[in-house]
Chains A and B, each alone.
Chain A
Amino acid sequence: MKCVHAVGVMAIFISVSGLFVTAAEREEKSIKAEIKIDNFAFTPTELTVKAGTTVEWVNRDDIPHVVVSDDKKTFKSKALDTDDKFSYTFTTPGTYSYFCSVHPKMTGRVVVQ
């Protein structure tokens, strides 16, 4: 009986550690980075990330902003009111310049490696 019990515990241990590995791998695949919008500026203004990173913009201003890539095609958020968020996953290396379409003096760049 004892022997069977030990095998059972071992089996549970293996499956739990297997879960941990899977979770860690998942974490690796969806790295997140945040860009804060505050005082009519993107912070950081330039962000460097690995390919596959999901970048999240969060608006901390009392005024709505719209995040849009310079080409106006790659990504474009809806109007982000205070505390609203917008995410985009960068899969291809390159430099992505973007701005706020309602306050175009606000500009930023995401460099994807």
Chain B
Amino acid sequence: MKAHSKAGLIYDHNHDGVDRRGFLKCMAWAGTGALCVMKAGVLRSASLSGISGATAGTAGELRFVQISDSHMGFNKPANQDVVGTLKAAVEKINALPQAPEFLLHTGDISHLSRPEEFEAVEQILKSCVAKEVFYVPGEHDVINDDGAQFLERFGKGSHGAGWRSFDKNGVHFIGLVNVMNLKAGGLGSLGAEQLEWLEGDVKGLGASTPIVVFAHIPLWNVYPQWGWGTEDSAQALGYLKRFGSVTVLNGHIHQTMQKIEGQVTFHTAASTAFPQPPPGQAQGPGPMTVPAEQLRQLLGITDVNYLRGQQALAIVDSKLG
């Protein structure tokens, strides 16, 4: 099962050499505004224009927004105004019909872990209607100091390298860190200490508790050749197997993509800074330079709405331009 974008861009994982038989898939590409909702195992998708009335009109139990990959400090041709596009993302959030309760930032807050880069993002996000922001680091946020600055600024209440959990309106949120202690030739990594913490964290929860996991690098193998996956994610997901509703939100790949696997919905958010090419569609995963008028159509925010009793988290990607 595939979700079609208006541009007709589809990446079919059946042809990437990885066996994913039995998986339901729904891919939504950057800027398409596709929505995928899972209700009792049935995947429904619709275009943003077709669903916006329904989601806007339904007062959700919990609404939050994910932003990702703001890369503050980046100034190359792919986007020489990452301040402007992050501000546009905040304006987009502030204009949503229902204000989100909080934000999740799934990493690469900064481009080079510079204090002024972190500071700029914090300042810009202060003008957002949602005042509370939960961050997990991307590899660019831990680049010179193993994440010391990240922890000092954003790690309050977290464990280890910045992993944490918290509850909102009956939903259990888990922020994971998969950008530390990476090994040569490897993928993203959670590590034994964090996995042990995760196992203990969810132990006492009822199976009907909706779970939202957020981390920087995808927790599913999007495209391992470019490092777009996490080597020990299967173990983490194993601890979440018994739960009826698990939503996994990631960034890192600078494009939206979604996959449904059993009761787990995987979703990656667009960047607010610059797009990256679809998997395997370029020599490498570097910034993709597009004509200026197209840039904001490839950047965006992800709006997530939880409706109690429906066991569904509605995920809507909105482009900036």
Report A's interface with B, CB cutoff 8 A: 39-41, 61-64, 66, 70, 78-79, 81-82, 97-99, 101-105, 107
Contacts and interface: CB of A to CB of B under 8 A. Distances in A.
A41 B283 CA distance: 9
Interface string B71-111: 00000111000000000000000000000000000000001
A64 B284 contact: no
Interface in B170-198: 179, 182-187
Interface residues of B, number: 26
B286 A62 contact: yes
B227 interface: yes
Classify the secondary structure of A's interface with B: loop
Contacts of A101: 182
Contacts of B187: 104-105
23 contacts: A39-B286, A40-B283, A41-B284, A61-B284, A61-B286, A64-B111, A66-B143, A70-B184, A78-B144, A79-B112, A79-B143, A81-B112, A97-B184, A99-B184, A102-B139, A102-B143, A104-B182, A104-B184, A104-B185, A104-B187, A105-B185, A105-B227, A107-B184
Classify the secondary structure of B's interface with A: loop
Nearest to A97: B184
B143 A104 contact: no
Contact of B185 (A81, A82, A107): A107
B285 A104 contact: no
A61 B283 CA distance: 12
B245 interface: no
A21 B185 CA distance: 45
B140 interface: yes
Given A81-B112, A82-B76, A99-B185, A63 B287 contact: yes
Interface string B198-229: 00000000000000000000000000111100
B140 A64 contact: yes
A105 B226 contact: yes
A103 B185 CA distance: 9
The 10 closest A-B pairs by CB, nearest first: A40-B284, A39-B284, A99-B184, A105-B227, A62-B76, A102-B139, A104-B182, A39-B283, A79-B143, A104-B186
B113 interface: yes
B286 A64 contact: no
B304 to A, nearest CB: 28
A106 to B, nearest CB: 8
A66 B140 CA distance: 11
A110 to B, nearest CB: 14
B293 to A, nearest CB: 20
B113 A79 contact: yes
Nearest to B139: A102
Nearest to A78: B144
Nearest to B282: A39
Contacts of A41: 284
Nearest to B228: A105
Given A41-B284, A105-B185, 18 more contacts: A39-B286, A40-B226, A40-B284, A40-B286, A61-B284, A64-B140, A64-B143, A66-B143, A97-B184, A98-B184, A102-B179, A102-B182, A103-B227, A104-B184, A104-B227, A105-B224, A105-B227, A107-B185
